[in-house]
Chain A
Amino acid sequence: MSEAPQHRANWWRVFGAPIVVGVLSLAGLLSALLAGDPGRYFSWFALGVPLAIAAWAYLRKA
Chain B
Amino acid sequence: QKSITGRVLGPDRKPVQGASVSVKGATTGTQTDADGNFRINAASDATLVISFVGFASQEIAVNNSQSVGTISLSQLATSLNEIVVTGYSSQKKKDLTGSVAIVNMEAAKKQPVADLNNMLQGQVSGLTVVGTGQPGQTPQVRIRGFNTFGNNAPLFVVDGVPTQNINDINPNDIASTQVLKDAGASSIYGSRASNGVIIVTTRKGTGKVKVSYDGYVGTQKPKGGNVWDILSPQEMGNLKWLAYKNSGKAPTDAQFGSGTTPVIPDYILPNGAKAGDPGTDPSTYYLDPNYNGSMDGFHQIVQANKTGTDWYHQIFRNAPITQHNLAVTGGNDQAAYLFSVNYFNQQGTLINTYLRRFTIRANSTYKITNFLRVGENMGYSVISNPQAASGILVEGSAIGMAFRENPMIPVYDIKGNYAGSAGKDLGNAKNPVAIQQRTANNKGLANRLFGNIFGEVDILKNLTARTSFGGEVYSGSNHSFAFPEYENSENLTTNSYTETAYSGYNWTWTNTLAYHLTAGDHDLKLLGGTEAYLATNRNLGGTTLGYLNFDPNYTSLSTGLGTQTNYSNQNNGINSTTAFGADNTLVSYFGRLDYTFKDKYLLGATVRRDGSSKFTTNRWGTFPAVSIGWRISQENFMKNVGWITDLKIRGSYGTMGNQFNALGTNSYTLYGTNKQTTYYPYGGSAIVQGVSLQQFGNPNGKWEKDKNLNVGFDGTFFKGALEVTADYYHKDIKDLLYQLTFPGTYGAGTVPAFNVASMKNSGVDVAVTGHINIAKDLKLDATGTFTTFSNTITQIDASGTPYFDQDSRRFNGSNIVRNAVGHSISQFYGYKVTGFWQSQAEIDAANAEAQKATGNPNAVYQTDAAVGRFRYADSKNQHQITNDSKVFLGNPSPDFSYGLNLGLTYKDFDFSMFLYGVQGNDIWNNVKWWTDFYGSFPGGANSKTALYNSWTPTNTHAKAPIQEAGSYFSTQSVPNSYFVENGSYLRCKNMQLGYSFNFASLKKAGISRLRAYVQAANLFTITKYSGIDPEISTNSGNVNATTDFGIDEGAYANPRQYLFGIQVVF
A binds B: no
Q: Which residues of A does B touch, CB under 8 Å? A: none
Q: Which residues of B does A touch, CB under 8 Å? A: none
